[in-house]
């Protein structure tokens, strides 16, 4: 592996706000859904500003256009020993100008 971070321009990025049970407690979470290089992805979203903006919204899917994302790998997870991909940041086309 060459890097644990990648800046990519996904196709069809949307933020999905869902209600999941964690430790028997219902909790809203944000996930990212997109296509990159012909592959579909659903990755946990960890960008604090984006989570802050979308978490109060109703459960649903919210499309975003003209964005780049930073995909990161986690440290090995104690549950399975694997590193997992996540979306660490979302940058709009307008922010880069």
* Domain residue extents for the chain: 5-92
Given a contact cutoff of 8 angstroms between Cβ atoms, the answer to whether 87 and 44 are in contact is yes
**Which stretches of the chain are DSSP H helices?**
48-54
Res. 75 pLDDT band, cuts 50 70 90: confident
85: nearest Cα among 70, 94, 72: 72
What percentage of the chain exceeds 90 in pLDDT?
67
Q: Which residues contact 96 (CB under 8 A, 6 or more apart)?
A: 68
Assign 92 a pLDDT band (cuts: 50, 70, 90): confident
pTM: 0.83
Q: How far is CA 89 from CA 5, 31, 79, in A?
A: 11, 12, 25
């Amino acid at each position: 592996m060459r890097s644990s971070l990648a800046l990519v321009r996904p196709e069809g990025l949307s933020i999905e706000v869902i209600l999941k049970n964690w430790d028997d407690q219902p909790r809203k979470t944000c996930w990212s859904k997109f296509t990159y290089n012909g592959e579909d992805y659903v990755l946990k979203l960890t960008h604090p500003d984006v989570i802050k903006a979308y978490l109060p919204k109703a459960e649903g899917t919210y499309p975003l256009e003209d964005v780049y994302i930073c995909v990161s790998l986690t440290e090995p997870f104690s549950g399975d020993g694997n590193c997992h991909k996540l979306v660490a940041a979302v940058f709009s086309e307008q922010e880069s100008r």
